[in-house]
Structure 1
């Protein structure tokens, strides 16, 4: 999701330079099955440029037309697509899902310092988990739709929620979203209004630290970049670690003892040791275990990692659990590209959390996506 937000901000800046009006489309609720889940976003410019996605391509055309109306009227609009209706043709779009999808369309006012794009810009500027709050009136679609109003981060909130009582109730639920590490949708009812809030839980982009600038590191860097990960390359060989060989990569050329000086591996980071230089990898491993990153991969045979562990008797059992060697999933990978896919897939599985098994979706029981964010609870104020 974070890559989509980064792309949206870049597209918005380009639109601003060109003097084009824009609108933000957000999936705020899904009842049933849909390709994208609540929190998916798409930027629309008045010339028809789309960045991001709110479906697999079936809703975008109709959403574009309605977004252009929103830009013209400068009023948010809540649009509902009922894909459970077998007669898809009546909507004028080719729908293939089996759910009801609520899309909030918001015009972006550049003069508003807390407009949705400015909140998203602040969100992606720091490596912190964040909650982006979007308010909509699900029951009265013709009423005012407040839209994306607040960004909550650790010890700092930006933006405002209309009404002190409503804001206090929502901020209490923000803490619950942090605790669950998941998005929440909740309705708030008072004698004067009924509003629903999407509390989008968003984590920073994965920071991938590739230790080693050999040829086999190149496809891994490319796959990571396609995934939207922030890639750092560490190596002591300036003739290998070059921008030509590793474009769009942050390169750190240093001896093993100093390689991590300008990096802060955090809980949203992963590292893979693949220099093919045993001593360099060993020294990096002995430093990495003291950081909270959930994945440290070691390329090569199991006996290599075993030797590393024997020479690093200070590594604790808890630290050992975060070390994966031989690195990668068992997909019969043989070529550098296949090995890179295997490693990237293992990193994704580990960083996704314990609820992810890595099994084939064919064999998964129940829904593909976690549907906690589709269940709306109600609080009376």
Structure 2
């Protein structure tokens, strides 16, 4: 969610300087493209860009289209067809071999339910939300409704819809996406045809690192680049110092004091790397019943096995389900040797686990992204 944070921050700065802005969103992709549906970019009238909708090939043309949308003060749907070998006719060297549909929405500070304000609501709390964006692929000259809905487990905000039947259908789909966790694109036909991109936004990953040694620093640094929220916990006050971990929340606590100071959810990953066997074992004993999405243990497998055996000797009951999300040694096998490389392997494994993905070389895949996600489902 780092891109959304950057977009919101850039919008506030641009507004303070009196700049006009527009939001460009990739709403649908057919075939291959650098970014898929949900990619966003903030465009200021002076040409400043925040975020990305492509690998750099669309941004210049999108800026020209955004200035027109801002001048007309109405959303605009722009399509780039790069399946033609002669894509230079667009004035952009695309070469992606796909069709990319981008919705450009002028932004106003007077609209309480503008996309930026909806993003702020999402970023202000740790819970998943669904954002719905309505547009017309059939008639690009038609008025494009744009970002029209935010739904969470305790919040509902809707803008104006073309009609109540479409609105109710989109709301039903938003509830479905919130329950099942997969974004969808649907076409709605009622008097006129609209397409809706119903997108699930997940909170930033929360990474809890137990251990404030030097090898925890690159783990924090890499996670910060990804926009993850990092907490570092250690019982040693001379190690758990904010100056050593400037982008993290730092907690000094013994094992029996740590858990009440932390909050866990299904977007939380934990790494045990204090290099103190008893500390790591004490934390693992408390973490196992929580059945978190990812618990990584630094060190060889025999170290983890010894922890588990010692816990059993103490009478701790360990069930198989509790071990499914424990990864020891932590990290992917990418030939890591030093602290930076180990940090990279651990974060890569966490990313794969959270995305429920198997780490393979992209050259061994037919498609980078699942093409089934590009199919527009019919509704109504």
TM-score, normalised to structure 2, is 0.96
The equivalent of 1:334 in structure 2 is 337
SS in structure 1 of the partner of residue 340 of structure 2: helix
1:43 matches 2:79: no
Instruction: Tell me the matched-pair count.
Output: 375
Check the 8 A contact 1:267/1:292 in 2, yes or no.
Answer: no
CA RMSD of aligned residues (A): 1.3
In the alignment, the residues of structure 1 paired with residue 91 and residue 332 of structure 2 have an alpha-carbon distance, to the nearest angstrom, of: 43
The equivalent of 1:316 in structure 2 is 319
Aligned 1:152-301 pairs, distance under 5 A? 152-162=151-161, 163-191=163-191, 193-301=192-300
Give CA-to-partner distance per residue, 1:273-331, whole Å, 9 cap, x none: 00111111112112222334211001112121112112323232111111111111112
The equivalent of 1:101 in structure 2 is 100
Check the 8 A contact 2:75/2:144 in 1, yes or no.
Answer: yes
1:371 matches 2:371: yes
TM-score, normalised to structure 1, is 0.95
Q: How far is 1:68 from its partner?
A: 1.4
1:16 matches 2:15: yes
In the alignment, the residues of structure 1 paired with residue 117 and residue 263 of structure 2 have an alpha-carbon distance, to the nearest angstrom, of: 26
Q: How far is 1:159 from its partner?
A: 2.2
Q: How far is 1:186 from its partner?
A: 0.5
SS in structure 2 of the partner of residue 194 of structure 1: strand
Moved over 6 A (4+): none
Check the 8 A contact 2:130/2:174 in 1, yes or no.
Answer: yes
Deviates more, 1:176-185 or 1:214-223: 176-185
In the alignment, the residues of structure 2 paired with residue 344 and residue 120 of structure 1 have an alpha-carbon distance, to the nearest angstrom, of: 26
In the alignment, the residues of structure 1 paired with residue 181 and residue 367 of structure 2 have an alpha-carbon distance, to the nearest angstrom, of: 19
The equivalent of 2:355 in structure 1 is 352
Check the 8 A contact 1:186/1:376 in 2, yes or no.
Answer: yes
SS in structure 2 of the partner of residue 311 of structure 1: helix
SS in structure 1 of the partner of residue 259 of structure 2: coil
Check the 8 A contact 1:266/1:291 in 2, yes or no.
Answer: no
In the alignment, the residues of structure 2 paired with residue 72 and residue 263 of structure 1 have an alpha-carbon distance, to the nearest angstrom, of: 48
SS in structure 1 of the partner of residue 289 of structure 2: coil
In the alignment, the residues of structure 1 paired with residue 335 and residue 221 of structure 2 have an alpha-carbon distance, to the nearest angstrom, of: 20
In the alignment, the residues of structure 2 paired with residue 124 and residue 316 of structure 1 have an alpha-carbon distance, to the nearest angstrom, of: 36
Q: How far is 1:198 from its partner?
A: 0.3
In the alignment, the residues of structure 2 paired with residue 19 and residue 285 of structure 1 have an alpha-carbon distance, to the nearest angstrom, of: 52
In the alignment, the residues of structure 2 paired with residue 53 and residue 261 of structure 1 have an alpha-carbon distance, to the nearest angstrom, of: 39
The equivalent of 2:134 in structure 1 is 135
Q: How far is 1:134 from its partner?
A: 0.3
Query: What runs of 5+ residues in structure 1 fail to find an aligned partner?
Result: none
In the alignment, the residues of structure 2 paired with residue 262 and residue 47 of structure 1 have an alpha-carbon distance, to the nearest angstrom, of: 45
Give CA-to-partner distance per residue, 1:94-148, whole Å, 9 cap, x none: 1120011100000011111000100111112222222110000111101100000
